[in-house]
Homo-oligomer: A and B are copies of this chain.
Amino acid sequence: MTIQEQMVKLAREARQATEIMANLSSTVKNDMLRRMADALQRAASEVIAKNAKDIARAREKGLSAAMIDRLVLNEQRVAAMADGLREVAELPDPVGEISDMRRRPNGIQVGRMRIPLGVIGIVYESRPNVTADAAGLCLKSGNAVVLRGGSEAIHSNVAIGTVLKQELLAMGLPGGALQVVTTTDREAITELLKLEDDIDLIIPRGGEGLIRFVSEHSRIPVIKHYKGVCHTFVDASADGDMAEAICINAKVQRPGVCNAMETLLIHKDMAATFVPRIVAALEARGVEIRGCSVTRELAPQVRAATEEDWGTEFLDLILAVRVVDGLSEAIGHIRRYGSLHTEVIVSNDYRNTQRFIREVNSSVVMVNASSRFSDGNQFGLGAEIGISTTKLHSFGPMGLEDLTTRKFVVLGDGQVRD
């Protein structure tokens, strides 16, 4: 079979599996996830042995230590994957929920029932745990899933997928509900992205390059976020201690993730006291500051920010700092350079916090809290399948519910239209 034929077959099988998967009870789905978790732990040594092949190849290819660390599976990490599946089993099942049921004047009742999307395609890189995590969320929400991981983790991904699929089959469920693409040829992605009749949604997870590639080649709707250029604005009325704690947490606690702060905006009336203080505090924690001219007057050791630094996702201990005239300039800066991910205002001014909430059009808008909270788990959505910075379907961190849609249900007793 050509790669095209393989992909068509695999997506078609997934589509066929949706008939069964969409109508499973929560009990069966939760049981399935727990069996998968147990099976994964029982098979840990085989999975780790397959993973060793990926690691060996990564070493041969001279991948960085950080990259290799992302790839590595050990007993602990396999156990963490299994626990992830068990946690998804504990989450409430969104499927079947009926809401907004209202009686119309003519007596028909009109409401909406939550249903799975159908077939979800996940295109991802490196971390093999995505195989189990994404499969768990898609299956729990009644969907079938097609998983296409990166070539660097192919042995690990196939090993994990095989273990999970065996449990599906052992329960008499359709194996087509969980498809792992076994070829590492990039053509497999472009072929999958054409199958709009059999795949309902594509979620790419990885670097900006992968995400752009997927969204440019897909005929299927894509939910994506390119990058997280998160801003914190310290208003004139901010509590200095709170602002310092929030900025340090947002920048330093885990700088390599998309909800870390990348640009700090400071109200000019706070600048004289807050700029020297926060620069010192961050420098003491190893952060390199790149500042505007006002910042550099107040902290001369700071390097000048270039135009490119505004809007850059450093993903590192680097921070761009700008002093602004006030809230309007801060909002304007965010609108121009932001990525619609997460923005924070630290303020004690009622009117300004209200305006910030209303006028900043990012997917997450926060008052007096660290941007590091911008996460499905922290928001109470349960495990997170991704973050959307485009507004259609979902905007912001996405949980189980975002893998579903709603159909209309109409209950009549013989009504016809005039």
Contacts and interface: CB of A to CB of B under 8 A. Distances in A.
A3 interface: no
Interface string A139-155: 00000000000000000
A415 B363 contact: no
A362 interface: yes
Contact of A359 (B23, B370, B392): B23
A414 B245 contact: yes
A373 B245 contact: no
A380 B108 CA distance: 11
Contacts of A372: 416-417
A392 B393 contact: yes
Given A117-B392, A359-B23, A395-B405, A366 B414 contact: no
Nearest to A388: B405
Contact of A392 (B366, B369, B405): B405
A22 B361 CA distance: 9
Contacts of A277: none
A246 B201 contact: no
Contact of A415 (B370, B405, B407, B413): B370
A99 to B, nearest CB: 12
A4 interface: no
B396 A408 contact: yes
A416 B253 contact: yes
Nearest to A22: B361
Interface string A337-369: 000000000000000000001110111111111
A366 B410 contact: yes
Given A200-B392, A393-B392, A367 B115 contact: no
Contact of A369 (B239, B364, B415): B415
A110 interface: yes
Determine which residue in A219, A221, A397, A414 has the highest number of CB atoms from chain B within 10 A of its CB, and name it: A414
Determine which residue in A248, A370, A409, A412 has the highest number of CB atoms from chain B within 10 A of its CB, and name it: A412
B221 A407 contact: no
B407 A363 contact: yes
A335 interface: yes
Given A391-B118, A393-B393, A373 B415 contact: yes
Interface string A94-126: 001000001010001010010101100000000
A260 to B, nearest CB: 10
A335 B19 contact: yes
Contact of A407 (B23, B118, B219, B365): B365
Contact of A405 (B113, B248, B391, B412): B391
Interface string A243-256: 00110111001000
A245 B380 contact: no
A98 to B, nearest CB: 9
Contacts of A378: 104, 108, 417
A245 B416 contact: yes
Interface string A380-396: 10000000001111111
A411 interface: yes
Given A366-B411, A372-B417, 15 more contacts: A23-B359, A104-B379, A117-B392, A221-B221, A242-B414, A245-B416, A362-B407, A368-B411, A368-B415, A369-B415, A372-B416, A379-B408, A392-B392, A396-B406, A396-B407
25 contacts: A23-B358, A23-B359, A108-B373, A108-B378, A113-B357, A117-B391, A200-B392, A216-B219, A221-B392, A246-B416, A253-B417, A364-B408, A365-B407, A365-B409, A367-B410, A367-B412, A368-B412, A368-B414, A369-B411, A370-B417, A373-B410, A374-B408, A379-B408, A394-B405, A396-B408
> Nearest 4 pairs between A and B by C-beta?
A369-B412, A249-B416, A366-B410, A372-B417
